[in-house]
Structure 1
């Protein structure tokens, strides 16, 4: 701690302390701004009395001031503070686990936390300051026009702070900054968070956990959000260290005694003996907590019921039915006896389930109504058997009948929501594949889809001068963005890039007008389009330079994106539905849905990444994300935990434990 500054005039501190707290803090902000201007330092006033009234409503009075300082002006501002009589109580490196702030104290104005960066917004402190300051917003504090972030920036700061708040304001702050925001305002916050590298704490604190998987400092923010003890926080930091030097730095910091905090606790500068004693006590606590953590992780997990039935939505094979077979395989590998319940017509699913070695209850039914009636009758006879309803149709047919899981694979339309309210009655869990869908299904648990085991693609490097191959895998419909992709390729070719579009898939579930528009857009490309039909994803992805999944319609998941990750292929997605969620918080190539110009620009950046190495780096991160989030082993682990906890209260599974 630094010594006292210049003498304070007699009575000044006493007068200040008799002011209402809010008035004193506003005057303190004005004082700090005046000091900054005198030093030529740029600062932003954040949190507390500097907040927009919309966010501050009902929050109560703060206890101190907070300012964010431009990194280039930090030394000048700190020197000016000291010269104005502010005593330094803590130093930046020791102020917190983030090393982000130092505390200064004035006998007149109280304390100020001087931030050299803001936790969660610290990927590039200089750019973060400049982006937050760019709108030029100001608010009157103590008669001084003080620079503050605009409302979007303040929402972001409040949410990031809420992710590590231990003062009981978290729920209220999230509600004010996020719960009261419109969809447009939320999108603006998300865009700013993505731009400044703050998406991980934002999605965690707003209940969109899957978006955080694989992101920067993911485990640290998860630990903060669950108010973990200090040892768990250090372990989280160690897990987030991506290189050996980074891990060594974390360990070195963990070994050091925080002298600033020890001095505050003791009320004086610690002696060498007090530092040694604190060191031993610190590591005694850490060892005890670590033993508790390890003991909790080694606790046995129940396998689940001896038999479980899975009822299909349809008798033919679609995306939901593919996941039904994958789930059945996962349950069987975990030791459960599985019965697949399916209609006799169409009989594709029943046949595939038998070929996979599962017991099949094939009910005589042809058509949706007949299937629902047959399934309801079967369920009445087997009411005690746990039933996994793989879609809205079996969920509605068996509503209220015995122990059930309701598993939705599509975003429920407005017309389907009334049916869903009935279908979920009595269900032990309601599952959805993404946080995007969960946002429209209250109380749902996210169970992300996963792929089969896919190997890294062995691609032949593109020779100099050969045209880049842009690949699409899926249904050739307008909803999947094929028309937009064709127009984007046309834009690239008009700009002089000799790109080729390679299509794998066919036109299923399209419509007349949309089919015509897709055909016209593809026809305009002439021989620059290659149609492959339905091919194996591994084979197809090995043949393209960049894969593109530009859906217009909101995707409930985006399995093709997960397959591209597994194969280590660079890919572009649109921002439709859950596609950005699957791609991950650090994915660099996300275009606006339905916007061919945005798609063309994004594809161009991805192709440029093939030359500068960023595409290879993104593909490597994608493979790591697939291994952690969407691989078969992760899917089986999630199913095991889900079945084991069917009698527990409904809570989303923690992706950290996957």
Structure 2
């Protein structure tokens, strides 16, 4: 529930003497934006709400209910914000073996009485400029949107365009909506001013190279990234986008790992623990039959995705 300042009151029903209404997902996302903005304001933390309902309001994708609240925070305040969220009664989602080895650009938080998650991002994948540089460029062009009668800070339409395009490019074969969202972006009618704005921000955030296929399809010339971008990061991005899912992530984790860690990765890939399986597939039952079937289904998906992963790795290895 909200208190008189527009902040969610985390006290239990027993504490307040009143019943607690079960929040719908859409309501939780709306109220969650307002609650987090109040948290930012009290702590003096700069953060932007990315993706989510703002994308529909910017006219970048059709309306749909988000399953979480995504926040891009000033990198210097990343740990401070995560601690504040935990201090308010949220708990961090655990990481699978694969997640720990692939590195984390964000931390996810859950709450027993909220149906949506909070994802706090240190940086945004595909924006290859230094995280603090990217954040400053997005922050400098921020705008306000009303959520639950509170002004919340979001990127402007151009910043949101870049974030959605990068998010859609990173989609997997198991998430066809990402392809639909990217197709919607490519059908947008952009003014010459908007095209120039997209080009400029792509260069400043180090995403001209990672977004090259999208910019080219829109007839936008971005030139070279304005910031120094590591070519290896560009190759890794393109490899990831081409491979899309499945076996690629395990191969990538294996390549990055030390000799000692590689046996753990192989074991987790072949026979994930019950804890890892529940984190990756929370809908799967906890009985032996359900978990065995889930593991078998993972093998099938992994085997089917292996040829594409190998082709992507080989193709981009030749680019070096």
TM bucket, shorter chain: 0.5 to 0.7
Q: Which residue of 2 aligns with 1:138?
A: 144
Q: Work out which of the residue numbers 174, 184, 189 in structure 1 matches 2:182.
A: 174
**Alignment match, 1:329:** none
Q: Within the alignment, does 1:185 sit opposite 2:185 as a pair?
A: no
Aligned residue in 2 for 1:82: 86
Could you list the runs of 5+ residues in structure 1 that have no partner in the other structure?
Answer: 1-5, 240-246, 268-277, 298-653
* Alignment CA distance shift 1:43-1:90 (3 Å): farther
Higher relative contact order, chain-length normalized (CA < 8 Å, sep 6+): 2
2: distance between equivalents of 1:656 and 1:222? 11
Report deviation, 1:119. Answer: 0.8
Is residue 169 of structure 2 the alignment partner of residue 154 of structure 1? no
How far the C-alpha of 1:205 sits from its partner, in A, is 4.2
Return the alpha-carbon distance in structure 1 between the equivalents of residues 262 and 117 of structure 2: 26
**SS across alignment from 2:134:** helix
1:163 to 162, 165, 169: 169
Report the Cα distance in structure 1 between the residues aligned to 2:197 and 2:263, rounded to whole angstroms.
37
Deviations 1:174-219 (A, max 9, x none): 24434312344233223212221122331134566xx99x944344
Residue 99 of structure 1 and its aligned partner are, at CA, apart by: 1.5
Q: TM-score, normalised on structure 1?
A: 0.35
1:392-541 to 2 correspondences below 5 Å: none
Stretches of structure 2 lacking an aligned partner (at least 5 in a row):
1-9, 218-222, 225-229, 283-291
Structure 2 CA distance, aligned partners of 1:60 and 1:175? 16
User: Is 1:199 equivalent to 2:208 in the alignment?
Assistant: yes
What is the deviation of 1:52?
5.4
**C-alpha distance in 2, partners of 1:183/1:250?**
52
Tell me, yes or no, if structure 1 residue 230 matches structure 2 residue 246. yes
How far apart in 1 are the matches of 2:44 and 2:205? 25
Equivalent of 1:40 in 41, 44, 47: 44
Partners of 2:246 and 2:306 within 8 A in 1: no
Cα distance in 1, alignment partners of residues 309 and 197 from structure 2: 43
Q: Residue 12 of structure 1 contacts residue 108 of structure 1 at CA under 8 Å; is this kept in 2? A: no
Counterpart CA distance in 2 for 1:289 and 1:192 is 39
Alignment map for 1:51-90 (pairs within 5 Å): 51=55, 53-90=57-94
CA-to-aligned-CA distance 1:407-453 (integer Å, 9 cap, x gap): xxxxxxxxxxxxxxxxxxxxxxxxxxxxxxxxxxxxxxxxxxxxxxx
| Paired position in structure 2 for 1:108 | 113
Query: CA 1:295–1:151 in structure 2 vs 1: closer, same or farther (change >3 Å)?
Result: closer
Give the Cα–Cα distance (whole angstroms) in 2 for the partners of residues 113 and 293 of structure 1: 32
Is the alpha carbon distance of 1:252 and 1:175 closer, same or farther for their aligned partners in structure 2, counting shifts above 3 Å? same
Which structure features the higher share of helix residues? Answer: 2
* CA deviations over 1:317-351 (Å, ceiling 9, x no partner): xxxxxxxxxxxxxxxxxxxxxxxxxxxxxxxxxxx
1:72-123 per-residue CA deviation (whole Å, 9 max, x = no partner) reads: 1112211111111111113599379452111111233321111111111253
State how far apart, in whole Å, the 2-side matches of 1:72 and 1:12 are: 40
Which residue is 2:220 aligned to? none
Tell me the distance in 2 between the aligned counterparts of 1:295 and 1:115.
26
How far residue 255 of structure 1 moved from its aligned partner, in angstroms, is 5.0
